[in-house]
Chain A
């Protein structure tokens, strides 16, 4: 098992946000996380990545068989976790390339990744400074592509992106998740999506529904999304399954 989350309870500012969450993701799998605003989706990703402010009060997170519940963020990144942020901060005076160069010295692969996202001109710009919504998402993916993690956490990778760019982002995510490989695929993903648009580009294996901090349902992601689109999250709240 690549990621194994057991009975995870998390507090943010003294308030319980996640309640006994279980989630298993195996190598090569792509999982999708559904849930309305405030259900705890981003909190789950932030907790997996290890951000301060997300206090694990119960349960544990295993990554590649190792209990990483109390590991600092960079140790998780070093072990192969990577995350694309929904609203990343601006880092003044630091060019995107300055950061990428720290974790990837292969100039050729960086250039290729930047070209594939039409971001070459952005390498020399300060990280996220004055970027549009779409540019932020692309820059996040570029960083992930050059970081090359085994587990990719994507927080709404398509929100704020115009239709033209969604296909490009879809291609980048497919590449990150090694979708062209079948049996040899090892990279796994956990994706939060609101619009579901990303499902048109990236084939997902499993869907999960978070409701008020609890995992309520899991199943075929496309079917789940179709139901949510048709009837809304209210149906899930009433569902006794």
Chain B
């Protein structure tokens, strides 16, 4: 048995630092395989519709690459531009001799039982790489889909942006329409090398009883940029994630945006951690949360380790119900002189004055409320091309409809 596997075994029962503890044995480990589908013509209209809701274009148009995993099978891996590589992580492990410099390098396999399980019951994931200096013309999309009731899906994803490259990734995580219960563990290790720029947009749309434990770590090197947008507006039983970004090189930049809605029965414990390890590094963490009866914990930690770093953290919450809760926990941790870090946290309600002002223009109370909520959720997403920005705005607007 390999060293990694041995360590993973030792952590199999290790509880996570945050979030309710999940009994992993209650989920199925085995899934029926799905055949490879080079043209994606085996998807039903309903499946396509569900994928579209998380930003995945099943026809593959206007994309530089595509990855689709259904249950445990990589059903489609394609790249449409020279210098852009898309394959399953199982294949990448074979092709690149175990991905020694990347596999379990940014994340420790013994972090908790979820990382340990992802190693012990590995069910694939995506490998995306952009070669040096290549600018991906369109986004690369990756869809992780659960189609079997009660299934555990343990994926391990690797993203490598070589020096000077540029890439937009859209990840859509969703379950089949009929699926209620499932478990998704997603290990994501991203390496953004010198001068590269990556934006990563992830939309979650799960079944009501699905448990989700992503474990994400990103290394950002000198002069590189990593921007992430996470959108989760549909119900899920429990999502706990605390992606960690290390700004390792001078002038590295990151911005983490989250748009979260928790309906009754949903528990979302979502955070962002940025360690500013080099001079001139800049970070921003921004979350917009709405509780409509569900519970949200919005965390954020900025750690300033070198002088001349600058970072800001903002958590805004809106309570739309007397049930549920929002807890905003922003933390700043400065470790040397010359760090500049700040945070704002605010929880509010929709003001009657604003509603009535809009009603005086002829909007009904419902329309006015919806417009105010839409405004609240509108986050300026920097670094995205206009078409992608519109695409994301449309996804958010679609999801808003279910709020009212």
A interface residue numbers (CB < 8 A to B): 49, 51-52, 72-74, 77-78, 82-83, 85, 88-89, 91-94, 98-99, 102-103, 126, 143, 147
Contacts and interface: CB of A to CB of B under 8 A. Distances in A.
Nearest to A98: B371
Residue among B353, B356, B365, B372 with most chain A CB within 10 A: B356
A177 to B, nearest CB: 18
Contact of B362 (A52, A78, A98): A78
B377 A99 contact: no
Nearest to B375: A93
A88 B359 CA distance: 13
Interface string B338-357: 00000000000001111011
22 contacts: A49-B360, A52-B352, A52-B356, A72-B359, A73-B356, A73-B359, A74-B360, A74-B362, A74-B364, A77-B359, A82-B360, A89-B351, A91-B357, A91-B371, A91-B372, A92-B375, A92-B376, A93-B377, A93-B378, A99-B361, A147-B361, A147-B362
Contacts of B378: 93-94
B363 A74 contact: yes
B357 A103 contact: no
B359 A74 contact: yes
A94 B368 CA distance: 11
A169 B182 CA distance: 61
B384 interface: no
B358 interface: yes
A89 B361 contact: no
A52 to B, nearest CB: 6
A92 B362 CA distance: 19
Contacts of A98: 371, 375
Contacts of B359: 72-74, 77
Contacts of A126: 375
B357 to A, nearest CB: 6
A77 B367 CA distance: 14
B374 interface: yes
Given A94-B378, A99-B371, 8 more contacts: A72-B365, A74-B363, A77-B360, A89-B357, A91-B371, A93-B378, A102-B362, A102-B371
A9 to B, nearest CB: 21
A93 B378 CA distance: 6
Contact of A94 (B353, B356, B374): B374
B365 A74 contact: yes
A94 B360 contact: no
Interface residues of B, number: 23
Contacts of A73: 356, 359-360
A88 B368 CA distance: 15
B361 A103 contact: yes
A82 B368 CA distance: 16
A91 B361 contact: no
A94 B372 contact: yes
Contacts of B357: 85, 88-89, 91
Given A51-B356, A73-B356, A85-B357, A91 B362 contact: no
Contact of B374 (A82, A83, A93): A93
B284 to A, nearest CB: 17
A91 B358 contact: yes
A94 B361 contact: no
B36 to A, nearest CB: 43
**Nearest 7 CB-CB pairs, A to B?**
A93-B375, A94-B375, A93-B378, A73-B359, A77-B362, A74-B359, A89-B354
A126 B377 CA distance: 13
Contacts of A89: 351, 353-354, 357
B375 A83 contact: no
B342 to A, nearest CB: 19
B380 to A, nearest CB: 9
Nearest to A99: B361
Contacts of A99: 358, 361, 371
Interface in B280-326: none
Contacts of A74: 359-360, 362-365, 368
B269 to A, nearest CB: 25
A73 B358 CA distance: 9
B349 to A, nearest CB: 13
A72 B359 CA distance: 8
Contact of B376 (A77, A83, A93): A93
Nearest to B354: A89
A91 B369 CA distance: 11
Interface in B215-261: none
Contacts of A77: 359-362
A72 B372 CA distance: 19
A102 B375 contact: no
A46 to B, nearest CB: 9
Contacts of B377: 93
Contact of B361 (A52, A93, A143): A143
A93 B354 CA distance: 13
A214 B377 CA distance: 45
Contacts of B365: 72, 74
Contacts of B372: 91, 94
